Amino acid sequence: MIARAFRQVLVLLAAALVPAIIAGTIQLKYHEPDPVPQIDAAAARALGEAVLWVDARPRREFNAGHIDGAVLLNEDEWNSLIPDFLNEWDPDKPIVVYCGGGGCQASKAVASRLLTELQIENVRVLKGGLKAWRSE
């Protein structure tokens, strides 16, 4: 009786394992495209002064050092910083948003809000963030 129950458990586990493997394979193959385009440091440098830099890091990090001419705009202070951003914004200039480094999600979050909430189209995220900019 115990052997029969054990076999039934094994059959159920095997039956559940097949759909799990299929679902996992599909999820690994499919990933949503990034809604915010990226730009690498070399391409961003080529833009020269024809870009508005947006620093998405916390204020203390911005104050410690940032890309020349960058405007601070982070999610923590979004509402209070938007007026300063809008004063600097020129619809003819592309916007490049950056944060600390490659693993930082702050730049994607800020860029996404610029795209969706403010309907600004020419927004990019600096690939690799400030670390990539400084290492070029």
Q: Which two tokens stand for residue 37?
A: 């385009």
For the chain, give the number of residues.
136
Instruction: Indicate whether this model's pTM tops 0.85.
Output: no
Closest CA to 34 of 135, 107, 136, 86: 107
- CB within 8 A of 122, min separation 6: which ones? 91, 93, 94, 95
Measured between alpha carbons, how far is 50 from 104 in angstroms, rounded to an integer?
25
Each residue's pLDDT expressed in tens, for the chain with a length of 136 residues: 777 765 765 666 566 666 666 766 666 655 555 578 999 999 999 998 899 999 999 999 999 999 999 999 999 999 999 999 999 999 999 999 999 987 789 999 999 999 999 999 999 999 999 998 988 6
The residues annotated with a catalytic role in the active site are: 99
